[in-house]
Chains A and B, each alone.
Chain A
Amino acid sequence: RRRIHYKHEAQTARDCLVLHHLSPMRRRGFHLIPRLSSIVPESCLLIVVGLLVGGLMKLVGEIPPVLESKIFFLYLLPPIILDAGYFLPIRQFTENLGTILMFAVVGTLWNAFFVGGLLYGVCQLEGHRLVTVDLLSCLLFGSIISAVDPVAVLAVFEEIHINELLHILVFGESLLNDAVTVVLYHLFEEYSSVGSITVMDVFLGIVCFLVVSLGGIVVGAIYGILAAFTSRFTSHTRVIEPLFVFVYSYMAYLSAEVFHLSGIMALIACGAVMRPYVEANISHKSHTTIKYFLKMWSSVSDTLIFIFLGVSTVAGPHEWNWTFVMATLIFCLVARVLGVVGLTFVINKFRIVKLTSKDQFIIAYGGLRGAIAFSLVYLLKTEHFPMRNMFLTAIITVIFFTVFVQGMTIRPLVDLLAVKKKQETKRSINEEIHTQFLDHLLTGIEDICGHYGHHHWKDKLNRFNKKYVKKCLIAGERSKEPQLIAFYHKMEMKQAIELVESGGGAKFPSALPSTVSMQNIQPKKPPQDRALPQLSKAREEEIRKILRTNLQRTRQRLRSYNRHTLVADPYEDGWNEILIKRKKMKELEKKMNNYLTVPAPPPDSPTIARARLASDPQAWGLKSVTESIPTIKVDLASPQSPESVNMVDEFGKKGSQSKASKEEEGGLTMKVPSPTNQRKDKTADEDNDKEPQQRLMRCLSDPGPTAEEEDEDEAFLP
């Protein structure tokens, strides 16, 4: 018996691998036919592919592998849910939480009982074969099929770029209804063996539901906090940072599932809770890794699920019964529409932004069913449920209908109804400033009204978060970084990456069409401030001293790159050469100012130039240092430009020890660029100025993959 088991599983594994290798190729092929992809959603095509593969296998004589529930729930589903949870737009989610919960809980319950009850009625009326189906089986079937499926919703909605509100409503509902489904499923499954239910059982069911959902969330949140806490200490082991994220999340899912709590909710809670803290702690590279791995895994899972659905359709034991299947389909659709309309009527009384009928239509139409329902039915044992095969057939029919018919027609309908689409604008710093201002303003007005509303509690939570939680979970100075500043630095980094990738040369990213520079907005200054400062002898001496101490530290690390170094060691070459080069760079920098919407950083020091070359000798031709970008300051050695005065004073004490710790950060730090005028002011009255303390920035090592549109990356409770 064991051998057979092994053979079966090995076969499944082999088939999985085959399909896995084929699927990315298939995807690419699919994208080569753009017309097709604009009409038919990817999920449909994948199912068709699965059908073809299944058909082929049957022809050949092999048994096509079925989407085994174990594989589905353990391996295929978690990556998709984690991807969704990690990048969940928290702000929209919490703003609409009431609505989402209403749809998820009440809506799903309504669907389940409506479909289940009516199906039972139909079965009784129909007579002959169907009369054996008892009420509890029908209700169980109803509860399985009533849940909107997150995988299907994601697959279809992602392509139609609908506005954020509708997206989060349908998607949020699909995520949160998992708890309801789990509870109903287990309830009905157990009671069907018992036979009858009492009022006590109903009450227990409600308690069960609360336990399952809240328990799942709590489990997820605990693991999320653990992950955040761990990431605080990973500054020395940056390479395994992504691993923590994945491992903790998966453990959250497994733990929840083991205790029959809602695994999906645990996963969502884990991802959403850990994200703001983890992102503050981990390096940029790790962040990119996590993002791409999550996208990759969820993409693969997604593809496999749909293909398997197709294959299983060909394979699985079917029992077609016209009445039952048609009745199921009709009741599902009717239930969905009635549910949405009825609930919206109630919800709109409590919403500021009411849901229009267009919105309601899209929400109803977007209630797609998918693989979760299929897997749940597949798990049913034929001994307890003799009509299991019929259920399977009915579910597949409904899934096919929703995915094919609704999935294909939703895009033209969205266009036809002129539903608002997602705005593709980049989040600008002005919007951020005014959004934050608005938040504080609304909180203030609520306080003046004496009304403890939405904003009041949000503000309290934010303050609690800032005061206690962030200190615990975020390493170093970043725990105190206000959100506006974090956003500003993030923007700067994005700009820096873009400039770096464009080679800093001839072509500049089209996102910066401006040719407005700092001079255009600064109030007129007295002429002497505009001249380039002449370096005095004393200054020269200081700079030389700084460089000497600097170079001693960096010499070890950079020794191997010496032959690439443009700017030579002051001991070896003339110091004047370096100064001339620096002056040249300053002049060029003035020209470069035109291309920045964040003010330009101070010009490079020799160590910086060397460090930049050290990071990626390929990307920077020997020319680039003299010609172009002084805009990106990549400073391996000293976090501050050696031109700042206080390095001389502080270097001995504070600078060195903090520098040492910063070197350990691993990677190159980027300084906050300060306006050139400011710098000029500084150099003018250098002796009086006190350079502010070190500013610790996100580590920026080599540019890496293109910085994409990161509209999913929003801060926690903005």
Chain B
Amino acid sequence: MGSFQSLPDDHQYRTLSQKTGFSLEQIAILHNRFKQLSQNEETLRRDDLKTIQDLESNPIRSQIIEAFFDSRNFQKDGVGSVEEIGFEEFLTVMSYFRAPPQHITEEQREEMRRAKLRFLFNMHDTDNDGTITLEEYRHVVEELLSRSGALGRETAKGIADAAMLEVASISVGPMAPDEFYEGITFEHFLKILNGVEIETRMNIRFLNMDATVLCK
């Protein structure tokens, strides 16, 4: 076992706290949860996350799990996916779901918003080419409707197409019949989700967690 395990290493926690913005208590709680999920090992694997029972009924389960192993989300300019992650990466991914503190400037708020939306974008853009193509978008909708049987699958295509048309019309405007819309870039993505207040909605209450009591 490493130095992480027995005593909460204050120095390391402090660096993490500075990096991710979590408080020391929150980091301690999340660390306990990490240890529990990884069965007291140093690293977490996909299978460890798959053991969580509550996730079973989630239609976008695989995408959520993938997001934890996607190096684009580790804020280290990496690409591609990894097989296992350490606590730092785990915490970094979790930090995308922190609430904005009460007193922040407009630029900081915008920063946070962009970071969160980037996380979402990465979840959809699976081949990492910087755009969400029609196929990828269809996949997203199909996954969302994956619990609805045959009816879901057919309409998924129609819904994805309609949504794509909407993005194209909002972002690009009128297009000639032979022009082709490659896919949703990050800027277009920002545009269409302008009405959704991501920085206030994409949050988890990390404050009152007691991992040892509540989790399975």
Contact = CB atoms under 8 A, between A and B. Distances in A.
A61 interface: no
A443 interface: yes
Interface string B152-195: 10110111011111111110111101111100000000001101
Contacts of A480: 148-149, 151
Interface in A579-597: 596-597
Interface residues of A, number: 67
A423 B195 contact: yes
A488 B157 CA distance: 12
Interface in A663-718: 672-675, 678, 692-693, 695
A485 B157 CA distance: 11
B60 A440 contact: yes
A445 B163 contact: no
Contact of B167 (A430, A443, A596): A430
A521 interface: yes
Contacts of A441: 60, 64, 120, 123, 202
Given A485-B151, A488-B159, A598-B162, A431 B204 contact: no
Given A430-B166, A451-B204, A516-B172, A672 B158 contact: yes
Nearest to B63: A441
A440 B209 contact: no
Interface stretch (B1-9, B13-21, B47-55): B47-55
Nearest to B133: A523
Given A352-B99, A519-B177, A672-B158, A449 B211 contact: yes
B203 interface: yes
B214 A521 contact: no
A450 B33 contact: yes
A708 B170 CA distance: 22
Contacts of A674: 158
A20 B175 CA distance: 54
Contacts of A429: 159, 162-163, 166
Interface of B: 30, 33, 36-37, 49, 52, 54-55, 57-61, 64, 68, 94, 97, 99, 102, 120, 123, 134-135, 140-141, 144-145, 147-152, 154-155, 157-159, 161-170, 172-175, 177-181, 192-193, 195-196, 198, 200-206, 209, 211, 214-216
Given A448-B37, A514-B173, A516-B165, 6 more contacts: A352-B203, A441-B60, A485-B145, A597-B169, A599-B165, A693-B150
Instruction: Enumerate the 4 nearest inter-chain pairs by beta-carbon distance, A residue then B residue, closest first.
Output: A450-B215, A514-B169, A447-B54, A515-B174
30 contacts: A353-B200, A354-B102, A429-B166, A433-B159, A434-B196, A437-B144, A438-B201, A442-B203, A443-B58, A444-B55, A448-B52, A448-B68, A450-B209, A450-B214, A451-B205, A451-B209, A451-B215, A485-B152, A514-B169, A514-B170, A516-B172, A517-B175, A517-B177, A521-B165, A522-B134, A597-B165, A598-B165, A599-B165, A678-B157, A692-B154
